[in-house]
Amino acid sequence: MHPDEFDHPDLRDRSWTKRAERRARREARRVRRRQVAVWGQPKRRSHRVRWLALGAVVVAAASVGIYYVERNAEEDTRPGSRADLPSINPVDLDRPFASTPARNWADGAAGIVPPDPVAVGDFSAEQVGEATETMKRILVASRLDSRMLSEGDTDAFVSLFAPNQREWVREQFSTPRWPAALATRLAPGFRLLPSGPKVRGSMRVEAGERPGELRVRTSYAFAYAFHTDDPSAVHAPLDIVALYRARLSFVWRDGDLWRRGDRGFAFDGGQGFSYSIACEQAEKGMLAPAYSGRARLGLPSGRRPPEYFDPANPIPDEDSC
């Protein structure tokens, strides 16, 4: 039987309760300032009792929320466990990942390391090496290439697929919503900091279902640090660092059993997940930093940032928006 989380000794500690209420009021004021900046000043209500009742509910909810966030952060010693919490120290735009779970990740393409090539099924070690190197190029073209990120230039990415797959891939980019599962694009008006993205993940190879097929499974996390003209709008490290995780499967076909146009890679589906983002832009398939979106009220999920960032974990089944 799980203990009653609402019967914790700290909740009966009067001094802790007073401190939590003060923090909750400060947080409520901060959220209100951000909401006013986005939506404008709300109309004043003339019914004072109703306003006070609402304020009491907000303060109570914020107190519980701060309690659980702080307790979880205190108990979690992994790097970046407090990256989603406001900090008294300003975010260093020269070292944007320093306080996040991605701080020790490799820079850009260096984080995509194909496995050592060994013979698999019908494929020699040399052929497997060719397939995984091409897979790395696909990941770089889809998640790291500056033309893809900033301009939506898909030519380099599309060219890496089998000739008969290229028309299908191009069609995915002709829809009103950007296909984030295939590639990452920054929302218009946003750009990354010079430090570039951080990457962590893995790639594995296995025999395909049919002769002459090789399946390549990838699981990678990409962390993007965004520039801001107004550092005062950044309250937490993750306000400017957005995450995209992708677990994707590709099939490499080769050999005389396949027509020349079918030889090469074909996309075989998968899952994607974004975290610490602007939800309005995510609805369009675009990536933008959390600081640019509307503040969302509500209790925390209980998960800490390192859980979301770890590419070894299953893709969360929750909607981050």
Domain residue spans of the chain: 78-309
- Six token digits for residue 260: 């020349």
Q: Write down the pLDDT at residue 24.
A: 53
CA distance 154 to 28: 43
Q: Write down the pLDDT at residue 23.
A: 57
Question: How confident is the prediction for the chain on average, in pLDDT?
Answer: 81
Residues 237, 91 contacting (CB under 8 angstroms): yes
Q: Give Dmax (Cα) for the chain.
A: 80
The residues that bridge with 148 in the sheet, in sequence order, are none
Q: Write down the pLDDT at residue 289.
A: 96
Question: Residue 287 CB: number of other CB atoms within 10 A?
Answer: 25
Which range of 50-59, 180-189, 295-304 scores highest in mean pLDDT? It is: 180-189
User: Cα dist. 277→175, 187, 238 in Å?
Assistant: 22, 11, 9
pLDDT tens per residue across span 236-274: 999 999 999 999 999 999 999 999 999 999 999 999 999
